[in-house]
Amino acid sequence: MSEKNLEYQPLLQDITESNAKNKCSNKSLLLAVCAACIGGTFQYGYNISIINAPTKSVQNFVNQTWLERYDEDISEKHLTLLWSSIVSIFTIGGLIGATAGATLAVRFGRKGTLLMNNAFALLAALLMGLSYPTGIFELLIIGRFFTGVNAGIGICVQPLYLGEIAPRALRGAMVMGTSIFITGGLFTGQVMGLKELLGKDEHWPILLSTTAIPAILQLLILPWFPESPRYLLIDRADDFGCKKAMQQLHGMNNFDLEMEDMERERVSALGIKPKKPWELFMDRSLRWQVLTIILINAAQQLNGINAIYFYADYVFGEAGIPAVNIPYVTLGTGACECLTALTCGMLVESLGRKVLIIGGYTLMAFWCILFTLTLTFQEVSPWVPYLSMGCIFAFILSFGLGPGGVTNILITELFTQTSRPAAYMIAGSVNWLSFFVIGMVFPFIVTYLQQYCFMVFLFICALVAIYIFLIVPETKNKTFLEIHLEFQSGGNRKASYADDGPKTTLLTTPL
């Protein structure tokens, strides 16, 4: 070996070892995301979609039970009410779970809360599985309520955990795991509900009980991963535990920059207790952040994505697809959303948050216009229904590339450690309330406006896109403190608060 090669050999060895450590840490982070998400937002998506397949079977069970109890068939009005209760009680449980999730995350830790949360999923699976053999349909309502509590806690705490274990350069991509697993849950629920699997009439109790499987998987996998390092350092002042967690997640010597960021945030939070939701509303330095998360979380449910799914079966039918094949075509919408969530995860660190969410909402507004036109002129030509089908897939693609993925990232990034749990409580409550409202109001909107209901969603999409463009700064590759100070200074707005004392200037250099 030449003398020159010997000179470079130590350097090459160091590079090889560094690459091996990075691969190991990236693998650990990826597995941590999967462990957190499988019992978190996956449950949310899964329990939304699996309830669709056994609709008729459950209604027949309720009618049969009613007949055995009261010697008469249940009236259509009462049957509709009971079925609506079984479906919608999920949102009430979700609201309660979202309001409790942040408090539990502060008290028991992010990882501890996720593990405890599986008790609700296991209890729900047991109750719903026992409903048929015991002949007690009320167990379905209670079980669906507990699945909602589980989903509400999971969708609140899991993104919190992911945002806090992620290195700054990968924060957006890792928090995208939230959306990827939601769409994965929706798609898995659609597949499990097919007649070839558990969609047969006699299998519906087993189908509803499968919510126990993700819970068991998380209980087996998540204990191998550490608690959030930020929670350990800032909330628990556990320096040793924090460093040990960082070594497991980021590699032995690959976390100095992250430790510096966390140390700065800890110093800024000294003497400050984790805030309550009402304290966020009273804090004038957080007014724009709070308003932002309220708006984007309400819009995530009210932007028309539910309407698109409502019209999907009608449009597929008009396009000439046989009714028996429509469930399989509908799987394409679920697969489409999964694909876009994965694509968004790959683009979010290169394009940034603002470009994706503004672009997504702008495209959704455009598809609202085109979809309204195609529905209005559905009978004009045989090719118009196929154009409507194209609009459905384009709308879902636009949602997945922007709002569906970026919303949870922004909630994580707009707040510092002491405010973030309360922010997730507010965001989760708004999301679940909007989910409940759209479920109650949407049928009336469709009844009175018909296909023109998409003009309402056009207005919402355009409003959010304009707000994000004018108010919210880009958060890519910035520390939580930098983002907080940028909001305080007005960011890209020329604003000052006369009663807040002297103006602050935008922080243009790293902390």
The count of other CB atoms within 10 Å of the CB of residue 493 is 13
C-beta separation of 460 from 303 below 8 A: yes
The span from the CA of 431 to the CA of 55, in Å, is: 25
The span from the CA of 152 to the CA of 372, in Å, is: 33
C-beta separation of 458 from 368 below 8 A: yes
Q: What is the 3-state secondary structure (H, E, C) of 446-460?
A: HHHHHHHHHHHHHHH
- Which residues 6+ apart lie within 8 Å of 474 measured at CB? 352, 353, 354
The count of other CB atoms within 10 Å of the CB of residue 439 is 16
**For position 336, what pLDDT does the model report?**
84
Fold of 26-225: Growth Hormone; Chain: A; (1.20.1250)
10-residue mean pLDDT profile of the chain (511 residues): values are: 49 44 67 91 90 86 89 84 86 90 89 95 95 91 95 91 85 82 89 83 89 95 92 87 86 72 80 81 88 92 81 73 78 82 81 90 93 86 84 88 84 85 88 83 79 88 93 85 78 40 34 28
Two domains, one topology: 26-225 and 276-491+505-511: yes
The count of other CB atoms within 10 Å of the CB of residue 348 is 26
Domain at 276-491+505-511, CATH class: mainly alpha
Burial class (CB in 10 A: 0-12, 13-18, 19+), 199: buried
- Lookup: tokens for 225: 């991963």
CA quadruple 70, 72, 78, 84: dihedral sign: positive
C-alpha angle 447-449-450 in degrees, rounded to nearest 5: 65
**For position 4, what pLDDT does the model report?**
47
**For position 359, what pLDDT does the model report?**
92
**For position 500, what pLDDT does the model report?**
40
Helix ranges (H only) for 269-352 are 277-282, 287-302, 305-318, 326-351
**For position 18, what pLDDT does the model report?**
44
C-beta separation of 157 from 37 below 8 A: no
Which secondary-structure segment (H or E) carries 410? helix 403-413
C-alpha angle 470-476-478 in degrees, rounded to nearest 5: 105
Domain ranges of the chain: 26-225, 276-491+505-511
